[in-house]
């Protein structure tokens, strides 16, 4: 039985639910997807100073993300070259040396083995250079976003990111001093298949129903939601960015009270937001500034989502532990030079909207877990339908183009089936407007 049926005639797009429950498929995914993709490690601002470090799992392997004395970003496997112990157990910290607690070997932040108790017992041919910390095959960064690859056999990061580089520019351009991850991360788990979060992270269709409770709260706080959901000349649309990456985003940042889906800003907060947009219009042109202030949900294949709802930006990665269980990490990305009220808004929304105990994420988690429970019947009810918008030429944010883009790449990696793109793929275009979308500026 195929995993994906991509029927262009009818048209209809179906995905086999077995892909969500089968342990053998997960093993194939580890080999064909996670071991052959650029995976997000972290943002350079998390390790601002030499010898700052963070630890996390990337593609199922524990890593240390650090900066050496020469300020170079370094990523190491967090496993001692002696007998394997995980060297650093803290999530974050600072130190010139990484010391293994088992037998006391010490490494510097360039990964060199610098001290070893009782070295003379190894004989005169002993060479410390053979026992450096192990590195992933490749580490590259794009505008502060650091990725690794566990294989050498891969295109460079920018080629891999394809049109997603423009979307990352829309995030990175939001501060002249640079963007930064603020204060720690959210770590939570979901009893659902990891691919459901790639789907959900750019799913405009579910917002009104799944997040009804949040929208009622906003309305009661005095927010005029008609502006946010206005189907004006430039609503959110969906785009295929190439290589399995996709985005839903808008071009007109003039609506929504400049707090997007967050509570309305005070007069002063609004003024600060307008000033920022004017400044960016001066730097990059009005079209690009309007896009920056219009928001977007980006999914970089396979498992990085970057979501900007103006009220804040969140990054998340998610990894499978079992077919029906994933672990999620989420961070808040903000301009270094933010106005205090805008920063408060972003922090508040990171907690109260995106947080694992906030007003949106628990509803998403519940939705995904219930899908997973439904998949228990996959033998008698084998197919998901992801056809929405397939018949229309322009894909809007409540369509499912972005999910089909993900699944076509997934199927190509897993079975070798080549699926022609449904719409023209956007390669890197630079600071220009969305194609096919009316600009808000004359
Ligand atoms: S395992 Fe690290 S020093 Fe022995
Ligand atoms: Fe959601």
* Predicted local confidence at residue 235, as pLDDT: 73
Ligand 1 centroid–CA 176 distance in Å is: 44
Residue list, ligand 1 pocket, CB within 6 Å: 80, 82-83, 85, 100, 102-105
Atom of ligand 1 nearest to the CA of 104: 3
Which ligand is nearest the CA of 80, by number?
Answer: 1
* Predicted local confidence at residue 183, as pLDDT: 81
* Predicted local confidence at residue 441, as pLDDT: 40
* Predicted local confidence at residue 173, as pLDDT: 96
Nearest-CA residue for atom 4 of ligand 1: 103
Global pTM reads: 0.96
Separation of alpha carbons 137 and 146, rounded Å:
14
Ligand 2 centroid–CA 348 distance in Å is: 17
Nearest-CA residue for atom 1 of ligand 1: 83
Which ligand is nearest the CA of 107, by number?
Answer: 1
Which ligand is nearest the CA of 84, by number?
Answer: 1
Ligand 2 centroid–CA 97 distance in Å is: 42
List pLDDT tens digits, range 88-117.
Answer: 999 999 999 999 999 999 999 999 999 999
pLDDT tens for each residue of the chain, 442 residues long: 899 999 999 999 999 999 999 999 999 999 999 999 999 999 999 999 999 999 999 999 999 999 999 999 999 999 999 999 999 999 999 999 999 999 999 999 999 999 999 999 999 999 999 999 999 999 999 999 999 999 999 999 999 999 999 999 999 999 999 999 998 899 999 999 999 999 999 999 999 999 999 999 988 988 887 776 665 555 789 999 999 999 999 887 776 568 888 888 888 999 999 999 999 999 999 989 989 998 999 999 999 999 999 999 999 999 999 999 999 999 999 999 999 999 999 999 999 999 999 999 999 999 999 999 999 999 999 999 999 999 998 899 999 999 999 999 999 999 999 999 999 999 888 888 777 664 444 3
List pLDDT tens digits, range 186-222.
Answer: 999 999 999 999 999 999 999 999 999 999 998 898 8
Ligand 1 centroid–CA 130 distance in Å is: 15
Ligand 1 centroid–CA 97 distance in Å is: 14
Ligand 2 centroid–CA 148 distance in Å is: 28
Which one of 105, 121, 122, 132 would you pick to mutate in the ligand 1 pocket, going by the greatest count of ligand atoms within 8 A of its CB? Answer: 105
Atom of ligand 1 nearest to the CA of 83: 1
Which ligand is nearest the CA of 86, by number?
Answer: 1
The residues pairing with 54 across neighbouring beta strands, listed in sequence order, are 65, 92
Q: Are 378 and 19 a contacting pair, CB within 8 Å? A: no
**Could you give the domains of the chain?**
39-141 (2.102.10.10), 163-415 (3.90.380.10)
Nearest-CA residue for atom 3 of ligand 1: 103
Ligand 2 centroid–CA 350 distance in Å is: 13
């Amino acid at each position: 039985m195929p995993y994906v049926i991509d029927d262009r005639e009818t048209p209809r797009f179906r995905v086999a639910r077995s892909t969500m429950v089968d342990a053998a498929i997960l093993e194939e995914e580890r080999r064909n997807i996670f071991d052959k993709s650029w995976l997000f490690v972290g943002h350079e601002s998390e390790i601002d100073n030499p010898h700052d470090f963070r630890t996390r799992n990337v593609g199922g392997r524990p890593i240390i993300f650090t900066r050496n004395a020469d300020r170079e970003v370094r990523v190491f496997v967090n496993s001692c070259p002696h007998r394997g112990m995980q060297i650093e157990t803290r999530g974050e910290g600072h130190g010139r040396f990484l010391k293994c607690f088992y037998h006391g070997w010490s490494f510097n932040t360039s990964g060199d083995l610098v001290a070893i108790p009782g070295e003379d017992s190894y004989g005169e041919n002993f060479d410390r250079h053979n026992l450096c910390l192990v590195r992933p095959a490749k580490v590259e960064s794009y505008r502060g976003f650091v990725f690794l690859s566990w294989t050498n056999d891969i295109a460079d990061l920018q080629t891999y990111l394809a049109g997603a580089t423009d979307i990352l520019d829309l995030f990175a351009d939001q501060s002249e001093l640079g963007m930064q991850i603020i204060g720690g991360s959210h770590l939570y788990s979901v009893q659902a298949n990891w691919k459901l979060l790639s789907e959900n992270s750019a799913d405009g269709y579910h917002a009104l129903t799944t997040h009804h409770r949040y929208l009622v709260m906003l309305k009661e706080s005095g927010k005029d939601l008609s502006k946010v959901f206005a189907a004006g000349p430039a609503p959110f649309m969906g785009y295929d960015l190439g290589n399995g990456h996709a985005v839903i985003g808008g071009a007109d940042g003039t609506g929504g009270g400049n707090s997007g889906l967050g509570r309305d800003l005070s007069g002063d907060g609004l003024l600060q937001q307008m000033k920022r947009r004017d400044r960016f219009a001066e730097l990059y042109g009005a079209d690009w500034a309007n896009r920056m202030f219009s928001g977007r949900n980006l999914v970089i294949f396979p498992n990085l989502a970057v979501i900007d709802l103006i009220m804040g930006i969140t990054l998340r990665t998610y990894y499978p532990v079992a077919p029906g269980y994933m672990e999620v990490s989420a961070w808040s990305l903000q301009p270094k030079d933010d106005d205090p009220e805008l920063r408060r808004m972003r922090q508040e929304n990171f907690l109260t909207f995106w947080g694992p105990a906030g007003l949106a994420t628990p509803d998403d988690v519940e939705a995904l877990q219930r899908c997973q429970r439904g998949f228990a019947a996959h033998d008698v009810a084998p197919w998901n339908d992801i056809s929405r918008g397939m018949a229309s030429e322009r894909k809007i944010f409540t369509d499912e183009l972005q999910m089909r883009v993900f699944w076509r790449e997934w199927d190509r990696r897993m079975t070798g089936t080549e699926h022609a793109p449904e719409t023209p793929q956007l390669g890197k275009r630079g600071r220009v407007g969305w194609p096919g979308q009316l600009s808000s500026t004359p």
